[in-house]
Amino acid sequence: MAKKSKIAILTGGGDCPGINAVIRAVAKKAMLELGLEVVGISDGYEGLLHNRHRILHYEDVSGIINLGGTILGTSNKANPYRCPVKKEGSLEFKDLSQAVIDNFVRLEVECLVCIGGDGTLSIANRLYKDGLPVIGIPKTIDNDIRGTDITFGFDSAVYVATEGLDRVRTTAQSHHRVMIVEVMGRNAGWIALQAGIASGADVILIPEIPYDLDIIAEKVNDRDCRGKRFTITVISEGARPKGGEKVVQRIVKESTDPIRLGGIGFVLGSEIEAETGIETRTVVLGHLQRGGVPTPFDRVLATRLGTKAVDMLMEGRFGQMVGVKGNDLVEVSLEEVARGQRRVPVGDALIVSARSVGTCFGDIRDVMPQV
């Protein structure tokens, strides 16, 4: 590896807390320990396609460990293998991957470090198959990447969601309402599950467990009869009723992931109020979960992942992603990552624990004794 003198970094997909901490870790270790030059690609694969990049200096990556967002910019509309192109007023999709590969070759870098979620890393896997030396680092608030127990950004999102649930509790108690907090997560319920447990939510609804409105209404009425004249519900944006469909907010055709979920909290709120007669309010946290500073946990995890990625590129361990298993960092094939999203197992220990303390998942009626 002594001849290797330059590497490149890009960040793709949605932003999340901790990206800059990873950029800092990769760049600082590459510069300080190995004397490598680091190229920052602007706006993910879009920058690689259009030759937008710059050399990152030490000053660029110093003091950014607590900075939200990404200093490189990002894009979730730039899939080189399915690139949106407007032609005569209509949208077409073209394979422009060869242009990306050619531009990468012109950069004369030895490795491309791709920081992103399942979409970004699936593209990285295809680029690796097409000959590019690629290493992946898992980034998403959704925690839905195969091969790793956790992704950086997730802890920060759970913290924000938990704080939101804690805050609505006081107004729910004061006005004797059902309060619903809708959180992100796409097709995986990790944020709703962990934030719900942490906040002591009465009802947790996740995509992996379709819910029954009657069961939720019974939970609300039962609490009211017991003198608990409020109910806290957290619902993942990808949740759906039994036999029903997910609520799609809009479709962004040019995006790598065109379906935008959202609005299920309002649907459920109207239904609960109609079913129980109890006033119901819905709060959608939305992009608040993706913004702001990373938690200390995410800063530490990002640093570990970034420095490990540099070790891997020095060893020529391309086509791999840095993953987390327990307390250890592991190497995971990008092929495994590309197989699909990591969702919550219906028998997960967290679900079992939550049920044990009386949390309702909308699928099983309460068996609490009458007092």
Catalytic residue numbers? 142
Q: Taken in order 354, 160, 124, 1, is the CA torsion positive or negative?
A: negative
DSSP H or E run through 4: none
Unique residue bearing structure tokens 């950014």: 64
- Residue 30 to residue 13: CA distance in whole angstroms: 24
Region at 153 (left for phi over 0; alpha for psi -120 to 50; beta for the rest): left
Backbone angles phi, psi at 203, to 5 degrees: -135, 130
DSSP states of 9-77: EEE-SS--TTHHHHHHHHHHHHHHHH--EEEEETTTHHHHHTT-EEEEPHHHHTT-TT--S-TT---SS
- The percent helix, strand, coil of the chain (3-state, each to 5) is 40, 20, 40
Backbone angles phi, psi at 297, to 5 degrees: -60, -45
Residue 325 burial (CB count, 10 A): 12
Unique residue bearing structure tokens 């004397």: 35
Q: Which of 276, 289, 258, 253 is nearest to 18 (CA)?
A: 289
What is the CA angle 170-171-173, rounded to 5?
Answer: 65
Q: Label residue 36 exposed, middle or buried (CB < 10 Å: 0-12, 13-18, 19+).
A: buried
CA distances in angstroms from 188 to 5, 19, 32, 48, 314, listed in the order given: 40, 21, 39, 30, 34
- Residue 258 to residue 191: CA distance in whole angstroms: 21
Single-letter amino acid, residue 267: V
